[in-house]
Amino acid sequence: MQLLQKLRDSSTIEEFTSEIFEIENKARVFSRKILDFLTQSRGNIILYSYTGYGYTPASLMYWYSLTFQSTKHPLLTEAEESSIYLLPYRDDLSILVFSTGEYSKLVATLQVARVLGVDYLAIAPEPPTDNLKSIAKFYGVEQVPLQGKVETALFATLASFFAISELYKSGLEARGRRLFTHGQEGFAVTARSFIEKYIDELDKIMKHDDIYITSTRFLEASTILLTHAIRELGKSAKYVPLEEAVNLDAHLLAVFLTTEERVRREFKALKHGSMIEFLLNVDPLEGIVYLTLLSYIIARSKDT
């Protein structure tokens, strides 16, 4: 069954929606660990760090915190970079690390944090070997109850959204309350309509074997995850920044938020060749979550 057929099949969509609902329930419970860490960690700086596709939840946390003017200065960093260039030189920070299973980099970062007495919370899937399981237990890694990079990224992104939307539910007047309320409602309830809205554009791009995907920096992490999910279907997909994509004469999927209309308009005016668009008419912070949901659905479709 082709992807388009699968995503138009009501029973398949019902199955995916049910799975997302279950993941949300588990992520909501898990989110308390993140919320507790955010409220109790020491230091004026918090590093939202990552290995692999943990970039997506780390990016969500960074942009959310920056948008709502956190009392702690947020930084978005790759885990290995954090351990080499930041942790040894600052004593006023804490670190939240999201991993999708790249344990070598994760453990190296936690070793440095432990030695230096830096507050940390590490989130990762269950390690594949007994040796790594012992190491993860020693360093107090909080384990995601899912396997697979896209699945882990989705779980961590949902848990992060639930935690930080509660933390800032009183911020920016109505926006903080609205995002918190949406977090309480969950995203599974709107998954079907989201799929239906973008299914035609998705099918157009999936007809090609070689695909390039681009977005603004705000959506970079979740769009890179989307690129990975498309590769899971056997396609040759590559993420490129906007400044490189503008000169590509290739099959291009461009992902924009409606709030990025000026950037979108300028890009389309300069773009060589045609492109297919995902135009997300949602709150920018929720856009990161929705793209992660779409990545999960695409990755799951290869198994049905």
Instruction: Tell whether pTM > 0.75.
Output: yes
Whole-number pLDDT of residue 1: 44
Cα–Cα nearest to 292, from 148, 156, 154, 194: 154
Fold match flag (8-185 vs 192-301): yes
- Structural domain boundaries in the chain: 8-185, 192-301
Burial of 243 (0-12, 13-18, 19+ CB in 10 A): exposed
**pLDDT tens, residue by residue, 254-276:** 999 999 999 999 999 998 777 89
**pLDDT tens, residue by residue, 53-71:** 999 999 999 999 999 977 8
Options 3.10.290.10, 3.30.930.10, 3.30.70.270, 3.40.50.10490; CATH of 8-185: 3.40.50.10490
* C-beta neighbour count of 240 within 10 angstroms: 17
Residue 302 binned pLDDT confidence (cut-offs 50, 70, 90) = confident
Specify the higher pLDDT residue, 302 or 73.
73
Whole-number pLDDT of residue 63: 96
* C-beta neighbour count of 196 within 10 angstroms: 12
What does the mean pLDDT of the chain come to? Answer: 91
Residue 26 has pLDDT above 90, yes or no: yes
CA angle 167, 168, 172 (to 5 degrees): 175
Q: Is 69 helix (H, G, I), strand (E, B) or coil?
A: coil
CATH domain 192-301 topology: Rossmann fold (3.40.50)
Residue 3 has pLDDT above 70, yes or no: no
Provide the H-helix boundaries in the chain: 3-8, 10-40, 55-67, 79-81, 103-116, 130-138, 149-167, 174-185, 188-206, 220-231, 242-245, 261-270, 284-301
Residue 143 binned pLDDT confidence (cut-offs 50, 70, 90) = very high
Q: Which two tokens stand for residue 22?
A: 């279950």
Provide, rounded to the nearest whole percent, the portion of the chain with pLDDT above 90.
72
CA distances, 32 to each of 53, 87, 165, 266 (Å): 22, 25, 12, 42
Mean pLDDT of 164-183: 90
